[in-house]
Amino acid sequence: MKESSENGARIARVLARAGIASRREAERMIAAGRVQVNGKRIDSPALNVSARDRITVDGAPLPAAERTRLWRYHKPAGLVTTVRDEKGRPTVFGSLPAGLPRVLSIGRLDLNSEGLLLLTNDGALKRRLELPATGWMRKYRVRVHGSPDEAALAPLRAGIRIAGERFQPMQVGLDRQQGANAWLTIGLREGRNREIRRALESLGLRVNRLIRISYGPFQLGDLAPGAVEELRPKVLRDQLGLEMPAGTAAPGRRRAPRRRG
């Protein structure tokens, strides 16, 4: 059993891909002595394993790794994008339909934001799609209180600096004025915390609704709030270059359970 292998993968990643736990949780399980490789208990995640290694957790053989899967989820406002919240607020993961496997969010939407959130069972895919180097455009429909004109929005297109932090140029379209509010379409390639809200507030524009409508090639479309739809294997192959096993069934759309008031 070698410490490294060109064809192997870190033990914690293997456990996560098999749906046992997140990589961080898997590392804790290893430290607690719950994992054995080829009959030997291990206490460090600094170990690469291959398909030839026999892995058990609490004495049970490791299930086969799941294929990479990706879902579109229409996040409603009022949910936090964490597994658990220290303030006791409702979370995305507590509001998903029954029957989904353990999933991870690709990026985040803050409590008051809504719209497209991508979910996956593959931690490596999550990290890949969150990297700035991926360069995917994220587009938002944004309602602000105020009456901005094109000149007022020009700093966003040029790149704005707030409290010493520089934001990259955004794509900004002024769609329409609706009473005391204006609707904008904003595109960006970064994912900083509350980036759009902070940038617009620096111009004196208060955001009162923010909806993500796309993440790279994936669109929110007509997906209803709270609904989840798994992307077809062909889409993963065409958009991400992922090869899917032959005969994989086409996924369907699921509605989230209604939250009781």
Cα distance between residue 73 and residue 106, in whole Å: 11
Cβ atoms of 71 and 129 closer than 8 Å? no
Question: Which residues are catalytic, by number?
Answer: 110
SS3 assignment, position 197: helix
Q: Are 96 and 73 in contact (CB under 8 A)?
A: yes
**258: burial class by Cβ within 10 Å (0-12, 13-18, 19+)?**
exposed
Phi, psi of 31 (to 5 degrees): -60, -30
Residue 181: its H or E element: strand 181-188
- Report the first-to-last Cα separation within the chain, whole angstroms: 54
Name the residue among 252, 253, 243, 254 with its Cα closest to residue 67: 243
Closest by Cα among 129, 71, 124, 64 to 100: 71
Give the closest residue to 29 by CA, choosing from 64, 66, 62, 7: 62
37, 53 contact by CB (below 8 A) = yes
